[in-house]
Amino acid sequence: MQTNNRIFDDISKLMTNAAGMAKGVKDEAETAVRGRVERLLSDMDLVTREEFDAVRAMAQKAREENAALKARLEALESKT
């Protein structure tokens, strides 16, 4: 009976080691893929979200100013 328990203990240890090794390989693969994607994105010269939002706000303000100036010009032209 002692022999069976030892075999099961050895199998259990083997499975635990295999699971730990699989997790290590998974983590290593994720790190490699993440690094590769980050390098690829940095080479593409993309803007950050903050930069995009800042330019978007500037464009919105310019459109509003343009509309206000257009209304003012129309009002001045209608007086003459």
pLDDT (tens digit per residue) in 39-69 = 998 888 888 899 999 999 999 999 999 999 9
Is residue 80 predicted with pLDDT exceeding 80?
Answer: no
Find where tokens 């343009």 sit.
66
Quick check: pTM over 0.75? no
CA distance 59 to 1: 80
Find where tokens 């980050």 sit.
38
- Helix ranges (H only) for 1-80 are 2-43, 49-79
CA distance 78 to 43: 54
Record the tokens describing residue 71, joined without a space.
Answer: 């209304």
pLDDT (tens digit per residue) in 7-22 = 888 888 888 888 888 8
